């Protein structure tokens, strides 16, 4: 979470003195602290310290002469006293305000889930034997956290805290279930050994410089299908899946390298730039479409049945963030399209010049060939 912002501005006066503004959000207590360093204190050295040390939570000494204030973060924009101005950086503060409002609401959502997990943990820690219903309840909670994380309503660090705690609680249930798994593990040992031998064989083949890649691919697919229907422990299954996935990735790398080595086509520098820029434009255009889809999704959720006030606030802020992001991307997309047109025009001019040069060269060659018979005939007549 980025909870700090440092900007240049100035204090309005006859001389319009430069000033440094440092903002910090404390989402736990819903407070924005603001430090203002003006006059002689507004030095480039201090600005660099704030940007590269203070923002990274490294301690620095603030000058004694500074202005400090704090305010509650609300839906209204952060307002500085009238004597101060950020000029064209007001938009940065506005975007940061929206991001911080999202941080605040997301933190509240995290605290709600944390309290819910506390109750669930207390119940499970009191169990004396394995309870499948509690396992499913914990899985349901995990799915809820996963969904919120995928929608990016929870920050990674908050989601990781919840995941870590959930993993610890899962371990309690796993320990209670250990005896039930002993017979299961014994029955699956032989099947796991066969799959292990097959994977080792393919891993050895993949280490070779050359190989029958299609044959290896088919064998990987066969092991993958076998794994779907074979009874295994969860740990063994996860390990096998990881190794098969690694095998497919390595196989793709081998095939791609082989194809690259045999490739004969050589592209010009300008053509490569056009191809790269076209791909970037497509990605940017796809990104804008995804933002439009996300904005439509959030609006539908906002207008959906029985949303909570917290969810509505969260989605409204999120929708605004998406609109800000879309506006920035569209400006970049317009610049990229203009650059692409310029590059394509340059390529056409180059191709035209090359064609003209080849035509002249061919015409000269034809003229030379047409002149030779006449010269020979002339000599013969003499």
Contact (CB, 8 A) for 248 and 224: no
pLDDT band at 331 (very low <50, low <70, confident <90, very high): very high
Where is mean pLDDT largest: 11-15, 60-64, 373-377? 60-64
* Residues 6+ away with beta carbon under 8 Å from 67: 34, 35, 36, 37, 38
pLDDT band at 25 (very low <50, low <70, confident <90, very high): very high
Q: Which of 170-174, 246-250, 298-302, 356-360 has the lowest mean pLDDT?
A: 356-360
pLDDT band at 290 (very low <50, low <70, confident <90, very high): very high
Strand partners, 88: none
Average pLDDT taken over every residue of the chain = 83
| pLDDT score of 376 more than 90 | no
| pLDDT score of 362 more than 60 | no
Q: What is the pLDDT of residue 161?
A: 95
Q: What is the pTM of this model?
A: 0.48
Q: What is the pLDDT of residue 358?
A: 54
Mean pLDDT of 159-173: 94
Q: What is the pLDDT of residue 147?
A: 92
| pLDDT score of 181 more than 60 | yes
Q: What is the pLDDT of residue 223?
A: 86
Per cent of the chain over pLDDT 70 is 86
The whole-angstrom separation of Cα 311 and Cα 305 is 12
The whole-angstrom separation of Cα 231 and Cα 191 is 8
Please write the tens of the pLDDT for every residue from 204-242.
Answer: 877 776 667 788 888 888 888 888 888 887 888 888 889
Helix/strand/coil for 236:
helix
The whole-angstrom separation of Cα 235 and Cα 245 is 15
Please write the tens of the pLDDT for every residue from 69-109.
Answer: 999 988 888 888 889 989 888 889 999 999 999 989 999 99
Two tokens, residue 322? 């998406």
The whole-angstrom separation of Cα 9 and Cα 92 is 12
Mean pLDDT of 183-210: 77
Q: What is the pLDDT of residue 143?
A: 95
| pLDDT score of 185 more than 90 | no
Q: Phi and psi of 177, rounded to 5°?
A: -95, 0
Q: Phi and psi of 3, rounded to 5°?
A: -110, 10
What value, to the nearest 5°, has the Cα angle with vertex 286 and ends 147 and 95? 70
| pLDDT score of 138 more than 90 | yes
pLDDT band at 141 (very low <50, low <70, confident <90, very high): very high
H or E stretch covering 341: helix 309-381
């Amino acid at each position: 979470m980025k909870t700090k912002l440092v900007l240049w501005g100035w204090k309005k006066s006859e001389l319009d003195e430069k000033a440094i503004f440092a903002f910090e959000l404390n989402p736990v207590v819903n407070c924005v602290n603001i430090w203002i360093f003006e006059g002689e204190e507004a030095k480039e050295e201090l600005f660099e310290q704030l940007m590269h040390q203070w923002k990274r939570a490294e301690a620095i000494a603030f000058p004694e002469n500074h202005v400090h204030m704090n305010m509650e973060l609300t839906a209204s924009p952060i307002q500085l006293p009238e004597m101060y101005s950020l000029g064209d950086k007001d938009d940065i503060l506005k975007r940061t305000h929206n991001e911080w409002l999202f941080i605040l609401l997301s933190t509240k959502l995290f605290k709600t889930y944390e309290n819910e997990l506390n109750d669930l943990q207390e119940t499970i820690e009191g169990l004396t034997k394995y309870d499948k219903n509690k396992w499913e309840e914990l899985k349901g909670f995990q799915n809820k956290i996963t969904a919120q994380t995928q929608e990016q309503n929870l920050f990674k660090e908050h989601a990781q805290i919840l995941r870590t705690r959930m993993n610890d609680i899962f371990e309690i249930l796993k320990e209670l279930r250990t005896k039930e798994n002993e017979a299961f593990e014994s029955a699956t040992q032989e099947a796991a050994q066969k799959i292990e031998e097959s994977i080792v064989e393919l891993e050895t083949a993949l280490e070779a410089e050359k190989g029958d890649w299609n044959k290896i691919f088919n064998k990987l697919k066969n092991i993958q299908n076998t794994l779907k229907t074979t009874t295994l422990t969860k740990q063994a299954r996860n390990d096998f899946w990881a190794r098969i996935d690694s095998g497919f990735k390595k196989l793709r790398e081998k095939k791609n390298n082989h194809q690259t080595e045999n490739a004969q086509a050589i592209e010009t520098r300008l053509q490569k730039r056009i191809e790269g820029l076209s791909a970037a434009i497509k990605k940017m255009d796809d990104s804008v479409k995804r933002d439009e889809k996300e904005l439509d999704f959030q609006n539908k959720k906002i207008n959906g049945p029985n949303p909570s006030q917290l969810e509505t606030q969260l989605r409204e802020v999120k929708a605004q963030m998406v609109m800000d992001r879309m506006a920035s991307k569209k400006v970049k997309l317009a610049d990229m399209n203009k650059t692409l047109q310029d590059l394509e025009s340059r390529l056409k001019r180059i191709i035209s010049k090359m064609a003209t040069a080849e035509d002249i060269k061919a015409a000269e060659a034809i003229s030379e060939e047409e002149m030779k018979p006449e010269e020979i005939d002339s000599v013969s007549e003499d």
